[in-house]
Amino acid sequence: MRKSALLALALLFSPLVLAAEGEGAGAPLDWEHWQAGNEVSNTASLQRGARNFFNYCAGCHSLKYLRYSRMAADLKISTDQLKANLLPAGAAPADYVRASMAPEDALAWFGKEPPDLSLIARSRGPDRNYQFLKTFYLDPSRPNRSNNLLVSNPAMPAVLSDLEGVKEAVFRNVEVTVDGKVTTEKRFDHFVTVVPGQLNDAQFDDFVRDTVNFLDYAGEPSQVDRRSIGVWVVLFLLVFTWFAWLLKKEYWKDVH
């Protein structure tokens, strides 16, 4: 019995083991399984993420459901700091976070209006946001000279390339059999950095993680409260249920 349980466990985890082994040995970069691994209760990370957002994203993207004041309160940013660093000219703390770029300009410059990012962490998940921001590469065939592995041909240019550097994507041809016919397909293999950025790999990784973390917060600002209240509710219900069970046992002594 125990042996078969162990075997089942081993089988369950074997694909992971294989994947982990394959990583170093010339296998393609496994970006599709990258995880953001962000933690919304980390206020310092959220503050850095907010700084990143307002420096690199807020020019084009809104957070139309989030007020500056709410963000400042949740992220423990003082009103003075908010006014000095984050609040655009003419905006009040109670305003919602709006992009600086006018929608008509966006249409003319990018062909579409950049999406509001209030709920991007809820509709895509932090992992895919992380993958998106980490897989931009040089593509001279595109009008903005960049492309992306997660979202092919995005309207958004590689806005973080001054930090990350410029990467080229190396593809390899793989033979695939479709309906009995052998064709070659271009598959992504790995990135090569051609122009280094201001940050090294680890620093850039932290930068993206903080930014994604901030977007996760913006998607559901009350989630930290939710979890901390939840702990008390669950503890209360455990005690309540235990007492209820004792009461039931006492009454049911009479039933034979």
Partner 1 sequence: MASNDAQFKPGFWGWLNKRLPVESFFREQLLEYYAPKNFNVWYFFGSLALLALVMQLFTGIFLTMFYKVGDTTSFDSVEFIRREISYGWLIQYLHSVGASAFFVVVYLHMYRAMMYGSYKSPRELLWLFGMFIYLALMAEAFMGYVLPWGNMSYWAAQVIINLFSTIPVIGPGLVEWIRGDYGVADATLNRFFSLHVVAIPLILLLLVALHLVALRQSGSNNPDGIEIKERRGSDGKPLDGIPFHPYYTVKDVVGVGVFLLLFAVVVFFVPTFGGLFMEEANFEPANPLSTPEPIAPSWYFTPYYAILRAVPNQRLGALLLLMAVLLFFFLPWLDRSPVKSVRYRGWWYRGFLAVFTVSFLTLMYLGLKPATGAYVTAARVSAIGYFAFFLLMPLYSRWDRVKPVPERVSFHA
**At closest approach, how far in Å is the CB of 24 from partner 1?**
31
Q: Which is nearer to partner 1, 193 or 241 (CB)?
A: 241
Q: Where are the beta strands (DSSP E) in the chain?
A: 63-67, 96-97, 136-138, 146-148, 165-178, 181-196
Binder to partner 1 among 52, 118, 129, 211 (CB under 8 A)?
118
What is the separation of C-alpha 181 from the centre of its chain, rounded to a whole number of angstroms?
A: 39
Q: Which is nearer to partner 1, 17 or 246 (CB)?
A: 246
Does 13 bind partner 1 (CB under 8 A)? Our answer is no
Q: Which is nearer to partner 1, 123 or 193 (CB)?
A: 123
**At closest approach, how far in Å is the CB of 77 from partner 1?**
18
Phi, psi of 178 (to 5 degrees): -120, 120
* Helical segments of 155-200, H only: 161-164
Distances 218 to 34, 54, 78, 92, 158 between C-alpha atoms, Å: 21, 13, 18, 19, 22
Q: Residue 52 and residue 184: Cα distance in Å, rounded?
A: 41
Q: Residue 153 and residue 170: Cα distance in Å, rounded?
A: 17
Give the range of 144-152, 168-176, 196-204, 231-239 binding partner 1 by CB under 8 A: 231-239
Q: Which is nearer to partner 1, 181 or 249 (CB)?
A: 249
The secondary element (H helix, E strand) that includes residue 113 is: none
- Site residues (CB under 8 A) for partner 1, limited to 41-70: 65-66, 70
Does 126 bind partner 1 (CB under 8 A)? Our answer is no
Q: Which is nearer to partner 1, 194 or 229 (CB)?
A: 229
Q: Are 118 and 219 in contact (CB under 8 A)?
A: yes
Give the range of 24-32, 85-93, 118-126, 182-190 binding partner 1 by CB under 8 A: 118-126
Task: Tokens 């908010």: give the residue.
Answer: 82
Binder to partner 1 among 124, 134, 167, 209 (CB under 8 A)?
124
Q: Residue 185 and residue 220: Cα distance in Å, rounded?
A: 40
**At closest approach, how far in Å is the CB of 25 from partner 1?**
31
Residues that bind partner 1 (CB under 8 A): 65-66, 70, 118-119, 122-125, 219-222, 226-227, 229-231, 233-234, 237-238, 240-241, 244-245, 247-248, 251-252, 255-256
